[in-house]
């Protein structure tokens, strides 16, 4: 999803409105809902995830003083990589 403005909570609100709240979002995600038929490994991964599952891989902006375009990238944190692995394993088990 590409954000067009810097409005506070924009992606969280839009995802919740589409009925895809972020894992770990206490404001727009509501209580943790375990997916029906989820493996125990996925249930544990969701329960143990300590924060919102939201990560900005790349940010770009125009520097206010120089006018230069700057771009910053950050790899996925280990906790999010683990959560994604648990989700992918759960999908494979369903197949």
Taking CA atoms, 26 is separated from 44, 49, 51, 95, in Å, by: 18, 12, 9, 31
Res. 38: pLDDT tops 70: yes
Query: Which of helix, strand or coil describes residue 32?
Result: coil
Res. 2: pLDDT tops 70: no
Going by pLDDT thresholds of 50, 70 and 90, the confidence category of residue 81 is very high
* Average pLDDT of the chain to the nearest whole number: 88
List beta partners, residue 73.
58
What pLDDT, on a 0 to 100 scale, did the predictor assign at position 88?
93
* Token pair in block for residue 61: 């902006």
What pLDDT, on a 0 to 100 scale, did the predictor assign at position 33?
76
- Domain residue extents for the chain: 10-94
Going by pLDDT thresholds of 50, 70 and 90, the confidence category of residue 44 is very high
Res. 42: pLDDT tops 80: yes
């Amino acid at each position: 999803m590409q954000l067009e403005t810097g409005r506070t909570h924009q992606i969280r609100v839009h995802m919740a409105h589409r009925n895809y709240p972020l894992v770990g979002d206490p404001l727009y995600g509501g209580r943790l809902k375990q997916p029906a038929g989820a493996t125990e490994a996925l249930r544990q991964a969701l329960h143990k995830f300590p924060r919102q599952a939201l990560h900005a891989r790349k940010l770009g902006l125009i520097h206010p003083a120089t006018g230069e375009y700057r771009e910053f990238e950050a790899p996925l944190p280990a906790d999010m990589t683990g959560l994604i692995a648990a989700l992918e394993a759960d999908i494979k088990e369903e197949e």
